[in-house]
Amino acid sequence: MSLELIEKEIQGCTNCGLAAGRTNIVFGVGNPKAKLMLIGEGPGKDEDLQGIPFVGAAGQLLDKILEAAEIKRQDVYIANIVKCRPPNNRVPSRKEAKACLPWLWQQLETIRPQIVVLLGSTALQNLIKPDAKITQMRGQWLESKSGIKIMPTYHPAALLRDPRRKKPVWEDFQQVRDEYKKLMNES
């Protein structure tokens, strides 16, 4: 199925309670054939208003990180665990994430990225292991059954709260950059 069709299908989704508070569904943005996909937590205020992921302060920081890693934002695909804004930017519940994950699975099946960066513990815990700790697992490659290389790192919003996390995130993105470059050179 194409991304356009999935996006059409998601319109009007009421599979969880987050539907009630949204302005827009924030489906995802980027290259439908991206080799690299970034997965965050959920839309914030700016994202909800614009219907685009990572456009607020955390998104601007992500843009800077990508630029420093020589990765063009338009070449990658960016999505979230939940597509509707949780009230007051709270962490989405396990139930909400579970309700929304089928949309993300469809995105992953369609895009077929070879590298996935998990931004923050919500992405890590909902996609890898519910009790996984981002502080322990960041910076180390994981691999899915289908061979996707997965790098967990901190969410850019966490860097805004705690600038000491900038260094580890940059180290993680250097690894992502190297792997991504390898892939681009192979293709």
Smallest separation (angstroms) from ligand SF4 to the CB of 80: 9
| Nearer of residues 65 and 119 to ligand SF4, judged by Cβ | 119
What are the φ and ψ backbone dihedral angles of 52, each rounded to 5 degrees? -130, 135
Smallest separation (angstroms) from ligand SF4 to the CB of 147: 27
Contact between 116 and 39 (Cβ < 8 Å): yes
| Nearer of residues 22 and 73 to ligand SF4, judged by Cβ | 22
Smallest separation (angstroms) from ligand SF4 to the CB of 11: 9
Spatial distance between the Cα atoms of 52 and 68, rounded to a whole number of angstroms: 22
Smallest separation (angstroms) from ligand SF4 to the CB of 82: 4
By C-alpha distance, which of 80, 97, 131 is closest to 18?
A: 97
Q: Which residues bind ligand SF4 (CB under 6 A)?
A: 10, 13-16, 18-19, 25, 82-84, 96, 99-100
Smallest separation (angstroms) from ligand SF4 to the CB of 49: 15
| Nearer of residues 10 and 123 to ligand SF4, judged by Cβ | 10
Element (H, E) at 157: helix 156-161
| Nearer of residues 28 and 156 to ligand SF4, judged by Cβ | 28
Spatial distance between the Cα atoms of 1 and 24, rounded to a whole number of angstroms: 22
| Nearer of residues 36 and 84 to ligand SF4, judged by Cβ | 84
Spatial distance between the Cα atoms of 67 and 134, rounded to a whole number of angstroms: 23
By C-alpha distance, which of 83, 81, 59 is closest to 130?
A: 81
